[in-house]
A = this chain, B = another copy of it.
Amino acid sequence: MKILDKGICSIDSVKANGYREGKYGVAVIYHENSTCVGVYTTNKVYAAPIDITRKHLENGKASAIIVNSGNANCYTKEEGIRKGLEMAQLAADTLEVPVEDVAVASTGVIGRQMPLNILKPIAEKSLANLSNSRENATRAAEAILTTDTVKKECAVEHALHDGTRFKVAGMCKGSGMIAPNMGTMLGFITTDLNLSHEVLQESLNRSIRKSFNMVVVDGDESTNDTVLLLSTNEVEGEYDDNFQEALDYVCISLAKQMARDGEGADKFMQVEANGCRNLDDAIKVSKSVVSSSLVKTALAGADPNWGRIISAMGYSGVDFNPDNVSISIGNEEKDVVIVDRGEVTTYSRPELLEEAEEIMKEKTVIIKVNLHDGESCITAYGCDLTCEYVHINADYTT
């Protein structure tokens, strides 16, 4: 797998652009007659653009995606639908494609009507200068940010088993999984491999389970979460697991970038649950640890507080024997085993606690837990809980 460096424009035929004014931005991704599928928030309260996009993608086709930041267009009723459609129509008119082939997405404040007087001029500027350049990929990735501090992109080139080369390229926004008011996870992924929308949908679902669904910043779920996967259909080939591998790679990379940029986050935390009876247990255990306010504050304080880890495992709802559990705290290079099959190693070897403390001071901390009860494993991604998180979310005004 080869890493590419042109963001969403890593696929040559995809054009994009983005433009920003103050807290409002509009990004456009364009490739006529693409196959396109989506995955959306499960929040009962979901935004108008989700209604529109879901409908427009029913036939598995799209030619363009238009995304705005600054307003989520959520809890806005008929007026919200009307305004979302107006954004889609603007893109359709400029690009000369049917409005039904335009997907829309929004992120920002919820419960307020979209200020089209502000957003339309921004959209017009974006639409007027679409291209396949590195600069435009950057503009698109930046235009969709809200509380994010950095743009998030990932692109790869890979080969099917028969040698056919294809690309997968993505960009996303989200400071976590995350704030309905400002955060909101939006992800846009493109590929040039010609696959049916059914195969794309299945493949996207599979990747999302391992990536975006495993990110927790504050446990809140947005009203606007949307991930779209668009294929330009230029490369002929049959789906095989190398396509899945490439898509997983892009999604997991984007997921990690979001966790690392979690609101107020100073540190990135990865929690691997191993030795679980089934995948469902592994998900529960890893997400319980990565979500725990006490584990998150311990990370902020660089405290290798394994008691909080095992307690979070204990209330995850998974049945396990505490006396079989192993817990280590580590980084990319090493693991410090703090609990070894129920035995606390630091009682007899206090130097291990000191080693773990040093690791906890680093920017990336990998916590591994093992239930020694089966073969299933999964990794969850998160970050520390800092005062900065409280500031960002307390000082924000409706």
Contact = CB atoms under 8 A, between A and B. Distances in A.
SS class of chain A's interface: helix, strand, loop or mixed? Answer: loop
B220 A181 contact: no
Interface stretch (A114-122, A204-212, A270-278, A301-309): A301-309
Contacts of A389: 293, 297, 390
A94 interface: no
A294 interface: yes
Given A303-B398, A307-B180, A398-B304, A315 B221 contact: yes
Give the bracket for the number of chain A residues in contact with chain B: 35 or more
A314 B43 contact: yes
Contact of A313 (B45, B306, B313, B315): B45
A33 interface: no
Number of this chain's copies in the complex? 2
Contacts of A221: 311, 314-315
A397 B397 CA distance: 35
B45 A308 contact: no
A223 B314 contact: yes
A298 interface: yes
A164 interface: no
A300 B390 contact: yes
Interface stretch (A8-16, A50-58, A135-143, A318-326): A318-326
Q: Which of A77, A311, A395 is the most central at the interface, judged by chain B CB atoms within 10 Å of its CB?
A: A311
Interface in A185-223: 218-223
B307 A397 contact: no
Nearest to A224: B311
Nearest to A392: B297
A74 B109 CA distance: 44
B386 A303 contact: no
A105 interface: no
Nearest to A312: B220
6 contacts: A75-B344, A110-B311, A180-B311, A218-B293, A219-B291, A303-B397
Would you list the 6 A-B pairs with minimal beta carbon distance, nearest first? A301-B394, A45-B314, A180-B311, A297-B393, A221-B315, A218-B293
